[in-house]
Structures are given as C-alpha cells and as structure tokens.
Amino acid sequence: MFRCPLCQRSLEIRETKKEKPYLTCESCGLQMFVRYRKGIQRLEDLSRNNVSLMENYVVCHGCRIAVEKCSENVSKPFFVSAGIYCPVCDELLLKKEAK
C-alpha cells in the first residue's frame, strides 16, 4: 500500500503488463507510473516504511508549489519569523520552532 500524495488515501500498488508498478487514486483521478529501476526502488522503500511523499514537503496553496522541509530552505529574515517561505509569493509556509 502507498498513500496518495494529494488526498493521503491508501492506494494499492499494481503492476502493468511489463511488471512495472503504478498507482491509481479513484478519488483524485491521479495516475502514477514508475518506469526506472531507481524510482521503483524508492517506491518500494517508501511503501515498506508507510511514508507519505508529502511528509517531507510543505505546499503553498496560492502558488501550488511544494517546498522541501530542509535546513537549506529555512530563511531568517530580519523583520519577520524565520521559517520556510514560498519562493514565488514569499508567504510563510512553515514557521521555524524556537529552541
């Protein structure tokens, strides 16, 4: 099983005639086909660990851009909160927690 990156529902990993994995979310209409060995291995690793693709990203709903949650993407502006900002509209997507 694998979670849909849009609605988080559990999806069954199916195989094509050529034995390549694919996913279909009936709720969202999303179809995802994985063609290369490296991608197939990543899909297997993620499904084994029951991890969502979106757990490592934050999405700007206005611009519809996903930004990875990593230290390189944390901004520390002078007059506003430190955190992850949208690279297009500069909206604060995830506020950095104070230590």
Give this prediction's pTM.
0.52
- Residue of 11, 96, 97 whose CA lies nearest to 53: 11
Q: For every one of its 99 residues, what pLDDT tens digit does the chain have, with 9 covering 90 and above?
A: 777 878 878 888 999 999 999 999 999 899 999 999 998 888 887 777 655 556 677 878 787 777 878 777 777 777 778 888 888 888 888 887 765
- Residue of 19, 48, 49 whose CA lies nearest to 34: 19
Query: Checking phi first, is residue 34 left (phi over 0); if not, alpha (psi -120 to 50) or beta?
Result: beta
User: Rounded to whole angstroms, how far apart are CA atoms 83 and 16?
Assistant: 42
